[in-house]
Structure formats: structure tokens, C-alpha cells
Structure 1
């Protein structure tokens, strides 16, 4: 029975009804063995409750762990004989000194949010406000911890504002208490630990859970039940609790706040209202502006919501900047002036306001200036032990070296007192939020790229991706369907990908693919602003294997880029080979082994070196190839040492063309003198050469120039086709040789003209017949010297259906249907071995049937462009079946320049002419002779395109 401390005290006359303090434990076994002698504590808005309980017991062997996690309630008798309750959870127990009869214990009691200090976690929250994330954590605690569930409830009735839905919130190696305080402080939400029952009827009344009140406006704070507290100097005979001392405290604080943050949507800094000056004057000597105590914050960049707005995220904007600015300004205003009160008011509860009366200075002010909100309370309270027990308690306390709270100078004489930190009720109360202090330290971390199951590359319009942070666990994300730990596109908000170059529609783009491991960093050190900085080859993800061969370190001299075909095994690569004496560059696509190889070419490397393939460049593919140059193309084997020459330097070719033109012109002059046909294209060759400008090395027209100092060869086992709408010129400083194993057939619509200056013309048929036809006109054969017509083995026939004349100077023989006429002014001599003259015989001349040529129908279009001709103009001529008859491209340099287009048809027919790239095209047909009866169907379809590419359904 003497183990029961309460029984001992009652025997000494200290019954429960006479005590100033009562204690109740949720563990009923402790109530009979522990007596509360003294309580010291602090209670602060945004910082919770912390108590030190010093207890007496007749037992010195109470297990300390029986205290830990025990809920405890302390009831203090106030000046109205009411029981004012304060409660919490025992988080620490200490065994003090003992004199054999009595032992002292010290218990640390905190509010239930102290449990949050002991859990550290890593997780993510998607598409929810800071308050919603806090509520998720709170509810999880209630589900997982019976102690927490029985000790604390969440009271959101003090919230009056709407809060932004954030795309992403991360907790990484962060205690729950730090995360919750950070989130609430960032929104300017105040936390207050309050009691469900501030007053109880009996000291053994059941312990109720405390309340965590969330408050965002001063109007949500309640008044103390007594509403008014009287100011009165300390007096031993005072019957009511009063404030015995009141001092003001003013401190210098920043006078203005300027918030800046990056806003990706506008590609600029977002500043809200800019520099906001405090409305509270701090000094009578200087105004706020002249003090210049400015706080300029470069804040976290604005978040980017999904582009389609499907995730319900609040758009970021200036209102968030201004809200943060206001919260900082309110916090500095809160710190500018405060009051410290020494009080005996035992039920002065933190987070409640009162009106102070009978203060000599304040009574002269308005009511608003006399209303104070209790921000913080530091207090102590002792029980009323008998004197001898009190002496023993003090000795044990001294032996244990436990320090007590000292509030007043006569602390030892007063059984209870408290110090209150007060703030006028009309001053906004907000928590301190310093991002540099309250945000967790960030470090680069790994994440896995995620997306829908059917996607290998999953990005949005900005090139952002989604990732799964590897630390996430399913049990932490059940509140949102597992989002964050699903290993799919629900695991994060859209995350930016760092690129070395990002312009407006240009730059470098290498998008991480689903399943890849990326390295994450955080913009401005903000844990809620992750972005991808790169990737690492790890594990079975080997470093890049160019050409799918080799491995490091054998191929360490290779560098470059290799991609992977989407949902397949193909690849593209840009490979740089820096191997000594094998330096090369390759642009490669695995499709059709299409490659551009430059430098000292070698086979793909499996080891440090590989067998060489040649030097220079190679453009190759197993499929089709095309080379296009809209302004001209030069293919040349002339050297340019160290690439010092101009890009289109075609000087050797230009000189050769000019030389050929001069030689051709000389022959042309001879031909003209000899009354034979001239080469029409001599001047065209000169014009062509003039298109190759030497000074600035460019082509004036879109020509294709092949130039080689050591020869050009065309070779194919099949056919070679040369085609030109104009002329084909072949000029050689030496010979032009034709050799064929079969036929050499030459067709000309107009004529064929052969001219040899010096050594004659030989046309020989070694076998077969030699035919010369003039099918619709005469055949003229002239020679300055003799003409020999001879048959070595057969006869020579000269046949005419009308007449044959043989003339030699002044003599002539005529053979015709009238007979044979011999005419001469000289001697007619006949020599023969025999002469025989018989009767007449009718001779039938051999009739030769020659085919009649079909005359092509000639058409000509004269046309003009009605705008300045700077771009390429195109004319298409089609027959009625939409078959292309003629196509011509003109580039004219004068306005309304006239040009002609001639084309031929087999017969008189209608056609369609189409002109492109002009605002107005005029066509007219000019007939070459009066017999043409054709009508021109004029039809001009005009289209406009930035790149001069046209599409016509009729083609």
C-alpha cells in the first residue's frame, strides 16, 4: 500500500481535492505510482507543445518504457477553481535521484505531431494542393498508428481560401514534420495545437484527442473564455489571475519585398507587383523607402501544367508571386512589433485572444489596440506539497541536476507563472517561410523514364517526359491509385529534359526513351522542380556500340551518336573515328546500309583498329540514291589543296569550255566559208561558260558540270540515255570516236550535216548494203577532183524514171523516154571490136518506191509573265489525255519579258497549257502557216506555295 504515492500523500493531508495539479495517464498502472509535482512547458503557434513533467514516486523501479507513448493529461486548477487541461504524449522518460523513500522522474511530453519527427520518407504527390497532400499524410498516420489516431484530429474549419493544385510535390529523405511544415508555410497556413476540451469537470475525465487546427486568417482565432484579462501589479493578496508586467518589443525588419521567378510560358522573369513596400512604419527617423531594407528573392521557377489542362493543375501566374510576396511581408510585419507579458493567468491558451484592461497606457487606445493574440506561452506550475516533502523534492531535483524554468525574479516564491508572447489581433499571423532554410537539400538522383505500355517514346509538345522515381513504394501511393509507383505515365508530372541547344523550333533533341535511366537535378534547388540532366550507362545497359560491334575500352577512339529504331532493331549513327591513321567520320542508317563515309575509311571496328577501305569519301546505299542541287551542281576531280579554294571553283572547266568554244568557232568559220552548215550551238557554249563566275565561284544558272583532269567514263552493262530539249554538244580537242557492236542509228528531224576540213570523210560498209536515199528531194554529190563509182564484182546501175544526163564539159548524153541523145561540139568517136545495130527494144526502168514522210504539226506559244521575274517559272503542255507533251522552265530577268515555246504534235490537236508561280499568265498561239486550224485551249491554274512546289490533280 505504501507503494501508492497517492495513499501516502493523502495520509499527509494532501488529498486530490487540495492539489493544484493533477495528472492522468492512458496507462492506468501509472496513476497510482506517480504524483506530478511540477510542470514546465512551452506552447507556440506553428511550433506545437513541449512539456517537462517532474514527478514523485515511492517506487524507484518503474520501467521507463512504460511511460513512452503513453498519453497524458495535466489538469491545472485556475483562479476560478476550474480545471484547465493540457495534454500530450510522453516521448522521453528519465529516472532521477532517490533518497530511498522517494524517487523523482522527468517526463518529456509533446503534442502528437512530434511523432512526425520520427518518420522519414521519399514519395511523390501528383495534381493536388499542398493542403491535400498534408491531409493525405495525416490520414495515413491515423490509419497506420493507433497512438496517433487516438491522440490527434485535423480541424480545417479555420481555412477560408482556395489553394492551387500543384502538378508535383516530392518528399525525398525528408521527415514528415519537415514536409508538412514546408508545405503549409509555403501557403501561409498557420498550425495550432489545441485541446478538444480546455476545461474538464473532473481530473480523471477521459483524455480526448488534441486538435491540429489549420488557420489562414486572423478572424478564425477564438477568444479566451474569460475574454478580458486585467493588468495588475503582482500582489500577494490578489485573488484573480492577472498580467503583472507588459513590455513592448520592436525590432528592425525588411521594409520591402520583391519576388522574381522564371516563367517558362513567357520565357521571362515574372515579378507580380514588383517591389512591395511595407505599410507599417518602423522608424520615426526614417520612412520605409529611405531605409531601403529590401528583400529580393529569386524564387523557384513556375510550374508547368499539362498542355491540354486534363490534369486539373492550377495555371501558374503572377497571383502566386504576389501571394508569396504578401506572406513574406506579413511575416516581417509580424516580427516588427510584439509584446511580452508576465502573467499568472493559468488558462491563457495559445492561439486565443483577449482584451487587456486597466493598463495605464493601453486604456487610452482603441479596443483593437487592446486586443492581443497569444502567440507563444512559456510557463511553469508547481503542486502544493507539504513543506518537508517540498524540501526533499528540491534536494532530489538538485542532485539530479535538472534545470527549472525561471520566468520572474521571485520564481522560487511563486508556484506558477507564465510569459506570453503577444501580438495585436489585427496583425496577420503567418508562419516563417524561407525557401533556402525550409526546403530540403537536393542532390542528383536516378529515375526511370515511363510512359503508357504501348509507347517506347512518350513526350508532350514541349519535349517533356515522365519518370518514375526509384525510391517510391506502392504502400505510400495507394491514396491515388498507386500514382507515383505504377511504373507508367501516372508516376510524375511532365519533366523538362536538359538539352545543349534549345532555340525557337531549332536546337538539339535527344528524347529519353521509356525504360531508360536518367539523372535528375532540381531547378534552383527546389525539390518540386525536377528536370533531366543526362543519362548513365549502367548494368546491362552497355555504352554505345557503333555498328553493333566492339566494346570499350577496345573502341575508346570512337565517339559520336547512335540511335535506335522505334520498336525495332535498326539504328542511325554519326560516328567519329579518331584512330591514328584511320581518322574518319560516318553518317549511317542501317536501312539499306545507307552511308556517307569521310576520311581514311576503314571497316567497322571490333578491336582497336580494323582493315582499311580507302581514302576520301563514299556515299552509298543498297537502295535508290538521288543528288539534287537547285542552283547548280559541280562534280570535279580537280584538287583543292587543304580546301582553300571556293566552293564552286570551276576555273579549269571554264577555261576548257572557253577553249573548246574557240576551237569550235574556228571550225564554224571554215564551214561557213565552205558554204556548209554551221554549228548552231557555238554561241550557246560561250553562254554556258559565262554561267560559271570565276570571281565569286558560283553558277548563274542551275547547271550540272562534270569536270575531270584525267578523263570521264560512263559504263553500264545496260543502256545509257542522253536527252536534252535543246542541243547536245560534243567538242573534242582530239578525236570523237564511236564504236558499237551492233547498230549505229542516227535520226534527225531536220537534217544531218557532216563537215571535214582536212582529211576527208570515209563511210564504209564492210558487209551488207550501203544505202543512200533522198526520199523527197534531190541527191547532190560534188567533188573538186574525180568521182569514182565502181563495183568490183558486179555491175553499176544508174536508173531514173524520167531522165539520165551525163555531161562532160561541152558534151552530153541524155537518156529518157524519147531515146538516147548524144550531143557535142567536138568529135564523136566510137571504138569497138564489133558493131551491131538491131531493131528497137523497149526498156523498163526500175521503179523504186520510197516512203512518204509524215510531217509533224508545229505549234508555238508566245507568253509573258505579268510580274517581276525573279523566281523560277514553269510551263506545262498537256494533251487531252493529260499526257505531258512539253515542259519548260524559264528564269527571265525583265518584267513582261516575252518568250516562246515551240512543240510538235503528230497531227492537229487541242492541248492544255499550264503556267505556275505567277499572279497572271498570258498565252497566245502563233500559227506558223495559214493551214493550221487548231484552237488553243487556254487554261492557267495558279497556285501559291512558299517552297515553289505545286500539286495538280490532273498530272
Structure 2
């Protein structure tokens, strides 16, 4: 310790006996909760403090103690109160906790110290974290953080309170992230962005609870308290003055933007919202014109505000802040009653003395003070212990302040301006885990969004949920896809448990978006067809999904193995597959067994091929997809040849008493095939070839079934072969026709043989005619030839005849020769047989009109519908169906083709 310090200490000790260092005699008083560190009390010599709105005050106190052995660590964390004696004898206190201590020197049992006192809130700068807050307003988030610290630490509980003096309504933030920030930085940026100011009230409980600070949040200047006293006089400093005053006062003005514009895109309405706020219009001549021409245009992150009014409020806050910071005041003086966050009314200043009282009221936004103890011999003591920090020109007066103020009547946002976007910027993409309810595999909403949990979210920071890997871990987060349109695009929703890559829009940590999915040890790369793995199957690429709640899958595989190119679209359901290219068994370890080439569509279930404009099945090759889609020249050539053969034979048969074939249907079909082009151009004739199915093959077509085969046509059914047409049945062959059957053989035999059964030939309503250019032979190897009719005539070419019936008549122009071994003539005799009786029933018919049922449902009667039936003979029958959908009875002796039209009711 220096000689000067020893002398000062001796003076101090001698005075102590005389005046006992009564607090009422000191300008600066230092007190601690619980009495302070053990040993000699600390006596304040000087204090230097900085305080302001939206900042934690910091007071450095130089002090001395008789005990030179006080451990600095015993001072840290103590709750302290620094009192400044005002002109009227009262005390203005500022409270906090000791956050730092310095031992300045010691000698002979006497020591000087410097301690730093700050509010407990300032200690939150040492607690860094990353966490998520959901569905909370900013005031609620601040309350949660403060209460969390109050619950964990008794110093915070005793030394920090919280009060809300808020007048505005605040919207919930669906997702708000603290990221690589201290708790204090996080609170500061949230309050700044919302335009919420904060200050401290100081209390010292007389009952012994000790000093404490009260954090006050406010959003309007009219909630700020007045200074004590509320009026401050402007006057030059004078030692004989008994009233504090301001000794210097200056106004400051600057040019700034006169308009603030914010924009933000909201993906739900898919629209950009714009909000504009105009600055305060003042009659400032050129300056006003200049400011009105300047605009601060700031595009914000997506969904920056939930409503248009909310965005407008943010714009207004920013413009009001700019208006206020362009018009400030600075002052020096010794007004001990002024503190940051209090308003005062200026008296006696020539620039403002003619203004009304409301215009002379100012809010202190920042204040720096220096206070020196008025202890005896304090000058030498202070010189010995060190002056501490001050500002140039502060002088040696006991108490000196320097402040910055704004008019109280200005917009309140000017007091706590959100000057910049303080949100932390994500340093790059991060990975996260997709989360959701534990009983859901895919957790999403109507927008295809998912919920995620970052790896840095800790359960200890989210006691009410938010880090339990469930649906509470985040808000809904959008997923970036290759395309997204109006109900079209891609849809691949990441599933619960998958690791995803998360990026941040504009780098805003509060605006995450999922950009991809990552594989990991629990989710290895895809195994196509359920076999094989990388790196052996590195030639495979594609997409594979997984059945919800099961093990099945769908997949699209591209195999780029050299010499075995293939593609496969498949689903495990019914083992349905479309295989293209080199057909192989699933590739395993890079190897696969070839089982064919070309294309294969297979399923263990049912399959259907439908083409509203026709289906062409052809085995005629078109190398490298040459020609049009429906190229069928070979088919047309065959059809033309077959049609010409059919027409020639039909005409020939007709000219030789055969039944000529009706060719209109076949000709129309052939014309339809000829014009079939599948044209989908606008205005194309949709009747040409619609609904055709054509099959062609150069080496043959085989149709086979182990059961029944049905081939039917609603109109004509034509079968044509250039060589032979064979019909073979292991049992019966039945041919029925409603309007005649014609068999004609241009050459060769026509044989009708019943090898073991009856050969029956009937004309039930007409004649049987058997004619031959040469012989007619009727024979029976066994039994008899029986001819029976009401009249039987045998007529030879020369006119000779034999007539049986009603007797026997025999006639000839030639000789009658009867040759027999003997002759026997007897009396009359007859024989008899039963002649066939044929039913003459007609082809009467009635139809039923039905509504087609849905798949698997029974058709329903179309009762009450009007109809019109046109028959082949030209008759037209019209009527209305009954309740069962049945038409009237149509009478006809012969079967006819009927065309039915059904009308609306």
C-alpha cells in the first residue's frame, strides 16, 4: 500500500470514532443483503454507473475496508443496493448483484476494492442455449424464462421480479427458436422486435429481504413513471445551490427515411402482403421533402406476421423508432433524481420555456453518472484508491450525470426501437428427426407438413414437452418437393423416425423447411426387391416405398447393369409387376439370372387391358419403335385378302342356290380398322375406330383354356381362313341360327355323318329338298329305310310313277314287269307310323330396362323410362317401361334383330 493510502486510512480511522460513519452523512451508500462479506464492512468511496432503457445497468463501486483479507469470491453473488443521497435528503437506490470484484491493494490490514453491481437479469448473458418455444406470445416466453431462473436459483428468486405494463395485444408465435444465443440476447431481440421496452424498478425491503430489482415490460410511454422530483431546472452549476439541475442541454436532429415498407409472403393464401408506415410529417422545408423521398424497404421472412394488421404494426414500430432517433436531446448536470426510464419536465430553458408543459416533458433513455463520497478527507482517499471510470469533462463535483432523452409525446416505439433484425442466422442446413404421435407412422396435415425435432433440443429445457420425440417437438414444417401445383406435383412425406435435412428461409432460424431425407445407421439405403445391398448393387436406382404398418412395398427400379438394362414397376400386392428390357430375377450382390427379354406384365390377381379408343395387339415387329402407334399394314393386308375371299365365295354360293352372306357388318368393321388412327387432336373424328380390339401375328395366334371359351358378337361374327377352317369338339358341336344356315362347298365333298348316334334332318315348318346332279343314294346297312307321308310319289324321268296314299297308283307308258318267286294276293291291309308333330310357337319377346349397378352391385330396374324398338321387318314399337323396367310384349313368328332406344322420362 502506498504512503498516501496509509495516510488516508489513518485519517479515516480517526474520523470513525468521531462520526461513526453515519449513513446520513454520505452521498454514496453501499449495503448488502445479509450484511455483506464477513469481516469489516465495505464503505463506498465512489460509484460510476451506466443505465438505460432496454439495457441492464452496470455500476462500478470503489470502496475500502479495514479487513484486507476479504476473499473476492465471498462478494460475488451478493445482493447489493447503492444509494445516492438526493438534495432533499432522501435516497435514490439502485439494486443488483455483485458480478465482479477487484482487490485494488492492501497494506497494514487496510484494503481497497472495486465491485461491479448488475441486475440478476444481466447474468443471463452467461447461460447459452438452443431451444424451441411454441404457441406462446413474446411476453409469455419472457415470463417462462424468468420464472425458470427464479425456480432454479435462490438469488434470482430473491433479487429479480417481473411486471407487465403492456397495453397492446400480442399474437402467439407458433414457432420461436433460441439458437446459439444467451438467454439475455434472446430476450433482448424478442422484445426489440415486438416493440416492447423494458426497465428496472429498485426495491430494498425494510423487513430484511434485502435489495431486489423488478423487470418492467412496457409498450407505451404514458406508463413510464415520473422522476423524483418530476421537474428539473436548467441552471448553471453553483456550489451554493440546494436544488439539483441540468447545466447543459442540446438538441440533435438528423435526416432519415420517411417511410418504412415491409413485405412478407404467406404460403397458405400463397400471396405477398405489403405494409407501409409513413413518418411524422413536420414543417421542415427541404428536410421534410428529403425524408419523404427516402424509403426503407425491408422484405421480411415468410409469414412474418399472422395478419395484414400485424405486419402494418411492425412497419409502424420501425418507422416510429426512426422518427424518434432522429430527434434526441443530450444533457449534463447533477440531477440525482433522474433515472433511465423516468420522465421529467424541463424548467427554465430558454429554448423550451415558451412551450406548453406537455411539450417540455422528456423521457431519459440513457444515463451515465459518477458519484463521489463526501466522507472527510475523501479527496486523498479517492486519489489513493483510484478515480474509476468517468467521461471527459465530468469534473470533480460530488455527483455528475450525462443523459440522452426523447420527447415523451413522441411515439413510444421511439424509446425502444427495433433497429435491426436481430434473429440469429442459421449457419447452414441441419439434420433433424421426423416426429409424431407414437402410434402414427406418417404424421402430416392438409399441407403435407411434418413435425421435427433437432438433435440439440433437450428435455430439460422443455419440461412441458417439446423434446420428447413426439408431435409437441415443433410446429408444422413444410417439405420441399421437386414440384407442387394445384393438387398436382410430387408427394413423398417423410415418416416418423426418418432423419431429414432442414434448411432455413432467409437463414431465419424460426423458418425451417425440410429439403431432403438422409440415410443413417437405422435407415440404410434402399434394398430393391428386398434383396441385395450397396455397394454391390450400385447399378440400381429408383424409388421404393413401404406399406403403412406392414412390410410390403411398391417400387420403381432402373437397372443400369451393362448388357442387362431393365426397368421394373411393381407392388407386393398380388405380386404385380411390369418388367421391361432384360428380364432377370432380383439382383443380389450385383448378380442376377436372366429369364427373358422384352416386356412382361404379370400379377397374382386380376388384370385388365382397356383402351377407350381401341387396343392393338401385334407380333409384327417395329424395330426401334418405327412407324405410328397403330401401325398395322400387315394386319390390313390379311384382312383385305380374307374379306375378298369371303366375298367371292359368298357370291359364288349365292349364284348356286347357296345362302349369300350379309357383308355390311364386316365391310363396316374393315373400314373402321382401315381408318383407325387413335388421333387425339382437337376436332378429330371420334367415331373412327373407337373401341376396336385388333390382334395380329405373323406366325400364328393361339387361344386356349382348360375350361369354357365364349366368343360372341352383338351383330356379325365372321370367321375366314384362306386354307382350312376346322371345328373340333370332343363331345357335341351345336350350331343354332335364328334366320337360316348355309353350307356351301365349291369343290370337294360335303359330308354329314353321325358315327354312332341318330342322324336327324328336319324342316319343321317347311320342306326338305335333297338334290344331286348325278345320284341320290339312300341305304341302310341294317334295319329298314322307312319313308312315310300322306302321299308318297316316285316319278321317273320318262313319266312312270308310283303313288302311295289313298291307294296305290302305278302308271307308265312302257311295260310293267313284276318278277317274284311266287305271288300272293290277299284282302285289304294297311300299315301305320306316328308322323312328327312340330310346334308352331312364335319368337315373342319382352325386354327389361336396367340401370347398371356399381362394381359388384345388382342392376336396378329402369321403371317409367320411355323406349322405342325398331325391328328388322321395319316395325317400330314405342312405349313406357313398367315399374320393373319391362317393355310390352313383341310378337313375331321369326326371330329378328331389335334395336332399342331409351329416352329420359
Equivalent position to 1:367, from 348, 353, 357: 357
Equivalent position to 1:422, from 385, 405, 418: 405
> CA 1:543–1:116 in 2, change beyond 3 Å: closer, same or farther?
same
8 Å CA contact 1:380–1:418 kept in 2: the answer is yes
How far apart are the structure 2 equivalents of 1:860 and 1:473? 77
Give 3-state SS (helix, strand or coil) of 1:455's partner: coil
8 Å CA contact 1:519–1:535 kept in 2: the answer is yes
The superposition leaves residues 170-207 of structure 1 with CA deviations (integer Å, 9 ceiling, x where unpaired) of: 2233321122122222221101122136xx99xx9863
Matches within 5 A, 1:30-179: 30=37, 32-98=40-106, 102-156=110-164, 158-179=165-186
The superposition leaves residues 847-898 of structure 1 with CA deviations (integer Å, 9 ceiling, x where unpaired) of: 353553643214589xxxxxxxxxxxx98699xxx998999xxxxxxxx998
How far apart are the structure 2 equivalents of 1:4 and 1:765? 152
Q: CA RMSD in A?
A: 3.6
How far apart are the structure 2 equivalents of 1:604 and 1:519? 31
Give 3-state SS (helix, strand or coil) of 1:142's partner: helix
8 Å CA contact 1:3–1:59 kept in 2: the answer is no
What's the offset of the Cα at 1:270?
1.1
8 Å CA contact 1:192–1:213 kept in 2: the answer is yes
Residue of structure 2 equivalent to 1:773: 762
8 Å CA contact 1:259–1:325 kept in 2: the answer is yes
What's the offset of the Cα at 1:395?
5.0
How far apart are the structure 2 equivalents of 1:939 and 1:683? 23
The superposition leaves residues 800-825 of structure 1 with CA deviations (integer Å, 9 ceiling, x where unpaired) of: 23222222223232231233333334
Residue of structure 2 equivalent to 1:353: 343
8 Å CA contact 2:124–2:184 kept in 1: the answer is yes
Residue 842 in 1 paired to residue 841 in 2?
no
Matches within 5 A, 1:234-273: 234-272=237-275
Residue 727 in 1 paired to residue 727 in 2?
no
> CA 1:3–1:394 in 2, change beyond 3 Å: closer, same or farther?
closer
How far apart are the structure 1 equivalents of 2:345 and 2:201? 20
Aligned length: 874
What's the offset of the Cα at 1:139?
1.1
Equivalent position to 2:747, from 758, 761, 764: 758
| Gapped regions of structure 2 (runs ≥ 5) | 1-5, 681-687, 874-878
How far apart are the structure 2 equivalents of 1:268 and 1:433? 26
How far apart are the structure 1 equivalents of 2:852 and 2:141? 73
Residue 432 in 1 paired to residue 417 in 2?
yes
How far apart are the structure 1 equivalents of 2:370 and 2:852? 107
> CA 1:291–1:164 in 2, change beyond 3 Å: closer, same or farther?
closer
Give 3-state SS (helix, strand or coil) of 2:579's partner: strand
8 Å CA contact 1:549–1:605 kept in 2: the answer is yes
What's the offset of the Cα at 1:346?
1.6
Residue of structure 1 equivalent to 2:318: 328
Residue 661 in 1 paired to residue 604 in 2?
no
Residue 476 in 1 paired to residue 461 in 2?
yes
How far apart are the structure 1 equivalents of 2:556 and 2:627? 27
Equivalent position to 1:190, from 189, 197, 200: 197
Residue 222 in 1 paired to residue 204 in 2?
no
8 Å CA contact 1:174–1:440 kept in 2: the answer is no
How far apart are the structure 1 equivalents of 2:734 and 2:154? 106
Residue of structure 2 equivalent to 1:787: 776
Matches within 5 A, 1:432-581: 432-433=417-418, 436-441=421-426, 443-478=428-463, 482-581=464-563
How far apart are the structure 1 equivalents of 2:11 and 2:650? 139
8 Å CA contact 1:374–1:423 kept in 2: the answer is yes
Residue of structure 2 equivalent to 1:287: 288
Residue of structure 1 equivalent to 2:876: none
| Gapped regions of structure 1 (runs ≥ 5) | 304-314, 862-873, 888-895, 904-908, 916-922, 943-955
8 Å CA contact 2:79–2:96 kept in 1: the answer is yes
Give 3-state SS (helix, strand or coil) of 1:685's partner: helix
8 Å CA contact 2:802–2:808 kept in 1: the answer is yes
Deviates more, 1:641-650 or 1:619-628: 641-650
What's the offset of the Cα at 1:525?
2.7
The superposition leaves residues 696-716 of structure 1 with CA deviations (integer Å, 9 ceiling, x where unpaired) of: 668532122222222110012
What's the offset of the Cα at 1:939?
9.0
Give 3-state SS (helix, strand or coil) of 1:653's partner: helix
How far apart are the structure 2 equivalents of 1:216 and 1:813? 136
How far apart are the structure 1 equivalents of 2:697 and 2:861? 33
What's the offset of the Cα at 1:348?
0.9
How far apart are the structure 2 equivalents of 1:5 and 1:323? 62
Deviates more, 1:808-817 or 1:336-345: 808-817
What's the offset of the Cα at 1:56?
2.7
Residue of structure 2 equivalent to 1:594: 576
8 Å CA contact 2:150–2:157 kept in 1: the answer is yes
Residue 376 in 1 paired to residue 366 in 2?
yes
How far apart are the structure 1 equivalents of 2:298 and 2:27? 51
Give 3-state SS (helix, strand or coil) of 1:649's partner: coil
How far apart are the structure 2 equivalents of 1:877 and 1:175? 72
The superposition leaves residues 677-720 of structure 1 with CA deviations (integer Å, 9 ceiling, x where unpaired) of: 12114543344432543566685321222222221100122221
How far apart are the structure 2 equivalents of 1:279 and 1:244? 30
How far apart are the structure 1 equivalents of 2:852 and 2:301? 66
Residue of structure 2 equivalent to 1:24: 31
8 Å CA contact 1:6–1:33 kept in 2: the answer is no
How far apart are the structure 2 equivalents of 1:41 and 1:455? 58
Give 3-state SS (helix, strand or coil) of 1:329's partner: helix
The superposition leaves residues 494-520 of structure 1 with CA deviations (integer Å, 9 ceiling, x where unpaired) of: 222222222111111122223333333
How far apart are the structure 1 equivalents of 2:512 and 2:490? 20
Residue of structure 2 equivalent to 1:213: 216
What's the offset of the Cα at 1:420?
0.7
How far apart are the structure 2 equivalents of 1:940 and 1:3? 121
Residue of structure 2 equivalent to 1:749: 738
How far apart are the structure 2 equivalents of 1:440 and 1:495? 18
> CA 1:815–1:884 in 2, change beyond 3 Å: closer, same or farther?
farther
Matches within 5 A, 1:643-662: 643-662=625-644
> CA 1:610–1:12 in 2, change beyond 3 Å: closer, same or farther?
farther
> CA 1:92–1:29 in 2, change beyond 3 Å: closer, same or farther?
closer
Give 3-state SS (helix, strand or coil) of 1:48's partner: coil
> CA 1:536–1:938 in 2, change beyond 3 Å: closer, same or farther?
closer
The superposition leaves residues 44-82 of structure 1 with CA deviations (integer Å, 9 ceiling, x where unpaired) of: 100120112222334444212112111111111222222
The superposition leaves residues 729-768 of structure 1 with CA deviations (integer Å, 9 ceiling, x where unpaired) of: 1112222122233222222233211112233423344444
8 Å CA contact 2:850–2:860 kept in 1: the answer is no
> CA 1:883–1:518 in 2, change beyond 3 Å: closer, same or farther?
closer
> CA 1:457–1:692 in 2, change beyond 3 Å: closer, same or farther?
farther
Deviates more, 1:841-850 or 1:655-664: 841-850
How far apart are the structure 2 equivalents of 1:442 and 1:710? 69
8 Å CA contact 2:850–2:859 kept in 1: the answer is no
Matches within 5 A, 1:611-690: 611-690=593-672
Q: TM-score, normalised by structure 2?
A: 0.89
How far apart are the structure 1 equivalents of 2:719 and 2:516? 60
What's the offset of the Cα at 1:162?
1.6
